[in-house]
Amino acid sequence: MKLIVQIPCLDEASTLPAALAGLPAEIPGVSCLETLVVDDGSQDETAAVAQALGITHLVRHARTLGLAQAFATGLETSLRLGADIIVNTDGDNQYPAAAIPDLVAPIVAGRADIVIGNRQVERLPHFSPLKKGLQGVGSWMVRTVSGTDVPDAPSGFRAYSREAALRLNILTNYSYTLETIIQAGKMGLTVLSVPVATNSPTRPSRLQRNTWHFIKAQAGTILRLYAFYEPLRTFSYLAAPFLLAGLILLGRFGYAYVMDQNRFVQSVTIGTGLVLVGVLIFLFGIQADIASKHRQLTQEMLYRLKKLELSQLTADDGRRTADGLNQLVREGEARAANGGSGMKRG
């Protein structure tokens, strides 16, 4: 079983050596361990440091595309390199590499498709009470939307099986952490968490400029993905206030009419308008729900296409290896034949 540790990096030349220092030499159930650095347009010597450290594979973006795209590049590259398990960690040395065996153990045992390291945020001394509260609320929202039981949704210390990596498609540009959990939950993948320790921070977060930016970005991601995967329910929630308000106004007029009171005529106009708006929003939800079925078919086609492409790459590699071996055998036979005839002539 082949495991690749992928590390998305942006100007991490100073911290990358520490991030790899505790990488285990052996992991139970893993026969091959390789490393992959995704340099997301770094302006420092990240690529040179990675090569000096003996990184197995290095991929570079010509310009900075963001953490989500760097993560997606790592997944695609790892799959093409034949990874059975992909571990994602940060280049800022936030997560201890020595915890990787615990992280991949449920996947090796066949009990999980994705395993997320639980940083136990409530115990982190460098997190303020406000940040701990926001992390808790955000993780609760992700659990509610995805139907999973992940206590630390923003954690980037994760392990993915080959099957899970094939099924995931990164759609957002901000961060992959919440999106992959929601996708996994909607696809029926098994997501587990294991407690992990964290190292002291080496620099401020580049994703979180300030508290308001963090709330806006994470909440926007959750709402967008919820609407993407549950369009009918989302539009039903949006239509409900208009329908309810319109029916109340129409009911008020109806009650007055039954009581022979010529009152609240304006409620008919306003109530009818509100009901029509609610009905239109609900119809949009039906249309979006129909489109989501096409999206599910597209996802399944992408999954099968990825598997087919990777199997073709494996077959091509196998043929090239076989052709190379056959060529070596033929060259050896030719050398032996030439050597033999030379001896006879001598």
pLDDT digits (tens, 9 = 90+) for 67-83: 888 999 999 999 999 99
Q: Identify the band that residue 137 occupies on the pLDDT scale cut at 50, 70 and 90.
A: confident
| Residue 329 within any structural domain of the chain | no
pLDDT of residue 318 exceeding 60: no
| Residue 341 within any structural domain of the chain | no
Same domain, 120 and 161: yes
Angle between helices 177-187 and 129-146 in degrees, nearest 10: 30
Instruction: Write down the pLDDT at residue 136.
Output: 84
Q: Which residue in this structure is represented by tokens 């208009």?
A: 242
pLDDT of residue 209 exceeding 50: yes
The whole model's pTM is what?
A: 0.78
Kindly list the distances between the CA atom of residue 336 and the CA atoms of 217, 332, 343, in Å, as whole numbers in the listed order. 69, 6, 11
pLDDT of residue 325 exceeding 50: no
Give the chain's largest Cα–Cα span.
Answer: 129
Better-predicted residue by pLDDT, 91 or 239? 239
| Residue 346 within any structural domain of the chain | no
Instruction: Write down the pLDDT at residue 344.
Output: 37
Q: At 334, is the secondary structure helix, strand, or coil?
A: helix
Q: Tell me which residue range forms the domain holding 180.
A: 2-229
Instruction: Write down the pLDDT at residue 343.
Output: 35
Q: Identify the band that residue 166 occupies on the pLDDT scale cut at 50, 70 and 90.
A: very high
Q: How far apart are CA 321 and CA 325, in angstroms?
A: 6
Structural contact between residues 157 and 95, judged by C-beta atoms closer than 8 angstroms: yes
Same domain, 67 and 211: yes
pLDDT of residue 341 exceeding 50: no
Say how many residues make up the chain. Answer: 346
Same domain, 270 and 304: yes
Structural domains counted in the chain: 2
Same domain, 182 and 44: yes
